[in-house]
Copies of this chain bind each other. A is one copy, B any other.
């Protein structure tokens, strides 16, 4: 028999009876015309930081990549399978998004793992290898006895957003389009314990509460 976990079926029924009726025409039009999102959002898999929830976004609004710790690896045209690079290429070259936002968040499990490396979870140690992308930064922080564990973690969460933005700029297509003013890059950090959203200052790299009009 075809089935899904109960909580998903229940949730889907809620969606269909409450939200979908008002968006029916929009979904149909998006199916007919294709998607044309303005913004690509690179976020974490974490169950507490869903971009469409935090940004109350409509269908068709956000092209979303989610991996552990919202990391973008550096440009490596080596013929291997690169999930995140493929998504990036699709968003920039094919969908021609105008914005890319890398969003980190507080209490990130991946970042926490990077700060306290333990024995591998599996012989393949996929998560250890993946988080080794920010290993140099993690080492510079994890040995600092002056910072609290939360401070160390927040620091690395924000460093990793800047790291992903730096790597994004190693992709020729991103570099060129940003220089032409046709693509903008942003950093953000969501505090799951307070609901606060912090935006990165592009000039300084600092995270600040954004101002609303």
Contact = CB atoms under 8 A, between A and B. Distances in A.
A88 B67 CA distance: 10
Contacts of A18: 56
Copies of this protein in the assembly total 4
B82 A130 contact: yes
A46 B56 contact: no
Nearest to A147: B155
Interface residues of A, number: 133
A7 B7 CA distance: 30
A113 B65 CA distance: 18
A123 B176 CA distance: 14
Contacts of A15: 53-56
Nearest to A203: B1
A34 interface: yes
B124 A89 contact: yes
A115 interface: no
